[in-house]
Amino acid sequence: MARAKSPSRHALVDSALKLFWKRGYHRVSMGDLVRETGVGRGSLYSDFAGKEALFHACLDRYQETVVTPAFGGVEAKGAGLAEVGQYLDKLLARNAAHPGPDVGCLVLNTLAQVTPEETETLARLKAHGRRLQKGLYQALWQENQKHQKLDEAEIEALARFTLISLQGLWAQSRGSRDIEALRQYCKTLLELLANRLGTDEVTT
Amino acid sequence: MARAKSPSRHALVDSALKLFWKRGYHRVSMGDLVRETGVGRGSLYSDFAGKEALFHACLDRYQETVVTPAFGGVEAKGAGLAEVGQYLDKLLARNAAHPGPDVGCLVLNTLAQVTPEETETLARLKAHGRRLQKGLYQALWQENQKHQKLDEAEIEALARFTLISLQGLWAQSRGSRDIEALRQYCKTLLELLANRLGTDEVTT
DNA sequence: AGGCTATTGGAATGGTCATTCCAGAACAAG
DNA sequence: CTTGTTCTGGAATGACCATTCCAATAGCCT
């Protein structure tokens, strides 16, 4: 029936994801996507309803191939502050690997450009936030078991704080090449969290 | 010589600022600006070299009319953690005053959309970051005088952390209507800072 | 009023973009 | 090879945009 698709669907989405991530949704044209993916213009429109649908596929793939590998450790059963530290290390390592100004987080970049009308896109961004929040809550809860200094509401607040604060890390990484500043930020964040939870050293 | 300008130059820039702030640089067209400001198309181009120059004027005016009123207290001589708390209160109050999803911070919104080529714009954004960083450093330094728990390098790191973390607050405020979450974030941030500085209560 | 200058807003220009269309190429099966 | 199907990529379409131009207009001074 169908002829073998030249680049597999995953490869296609990966190429598109790379472009969207680097330049942001609005700065990528369909022409760019045709050039980058190697897939014909007509085929793009028969595989996806349009530019926005393709972007949604990219957001989903981003969760699988970027968020899960980095954040999965925090979501794992029994994870604590140490796993949060490892997550931060992964973010820093990715940042250091890039040559130019970093690309930051696809979700956060999109958030700053999206309009209230693009409800489908917004829904995906919110789901991402809930995912991180939940993972952080579990890890902090686990860590709190050691000394039981906080009640559940306080852990909830601390997880929320961490999530919002982390968004600053991504925003910052877009504009600055100063990796040392980012490293220092991560170190301070971990110290503050450890301090509040009563854990005095964090072993990564 | 010159005829009185219909809306004063400040009023013109204020109108443009409002639009840019709400919708972002790329989502505002010159047609929008003509409609909103009430100034003729030709006049806009004789007063400013183009859209980007007008935007730069808006960024400058943003510093004067938005940043200074909110952040000036932190920059004042002798300011400490209490003034940082007042600054956060002002941010929250502005957020609560808006009906729809908040506009966040013009500088941060722009940061997510700007390209590395727009050097003039980038320079202004970086200057903004330096301004906040400096103010925060001074306030934290002042607060640290009370108990002298930290050395200067640690204060520097704490100021950097606070700055990056605050960027998350603005990012978050764009996507969510959950003011309570923002309030909780501010509360937690202040507590963490106070804790690290040895100040146990923060009176605003 | 009459002349001068600054301002105006509509039209024209040249560009980019998403999306649609379609004629032909590439492929598989008979 | 022939037929039927899928894929391709260039061209066409219609929309939007920044910028430039310019004839008409509105205010100011003498």
Chain B touched by A198 (CB under 8 Å) = no
Cβ–Cβ under 8 Å, residues B82 and B139: no
The separation, in Å, between residue A2 CA and nucleotide C30 C1' comes to: 17
CA nearest A143: which of A102, A66, A201?
A201
pLDDT on residue B116: 82
The separation, in Å, between residue A32 CA and nucleotide C14 C1' comes to: 21
Confidence of residue B107 (pLDDT cuts 50, 70, 90): very high
Which of A81 and B178 is assigned the larger pLDDT?
A81
CA distance A135 to A150: 18
Q: Which fold has domain B59-197?
A: Tetracycline Repressor; domain 2 (1.10.357)
User: Residues of B with CB below 8 A from A182's CB?
Assistant: 164
Task: For residue range A111-132, list pLDDT tens digits in order.
Answer: 888 888 889 999 999 999 999 9
CA distance A188 to chain B (A): 7
Closest nucleotide to B45, Cα to C1':
D19
Q: Which fold has domain A60-197?
A: Tetracycline Repressor; domain 2 (1.10.357)
CA distance A38 to A27: 19
CA nearest B139: which of B66, B190, B180, B63?
B190
Enter the tokens of residue B161: 């952390």
Classify the phi-psi angles of A38: left when phi > 0, otherwise alpha if psi is within -120 to 50, otherwise beta.
left
CA distance A130 to chain B (A): 12
B61-99 exposure pattern, b = at least 16 Cβ within 10 A, e = fewer: bbbeebbeebbebbbeeebbbbbbbebbeebbeebeeee
CA nearest B139: which of B72, B90, B89, B188?
B72
State the DSSP string of B175-195. Answer: H---HHHHHHHHHHHHHHHHH
Return the number of other C-beta atoms located less than 10 Å from residue A88's C-beta: 22
Confidence of residue A152 (pLDDT cuts 50, 70, 90): very high
At residue A169, what are phi and psi to the nearest 5 degrees?
-60, -45
pLDDT on residue A1: 36
Task: For residue range B73-97, list pLDDT tens digits in order.
Answer: 999 999 999 999 999 999 999 988 8
Q: Which residues contact A93 (CB under 8 A, 6 or more apart)?
A: none
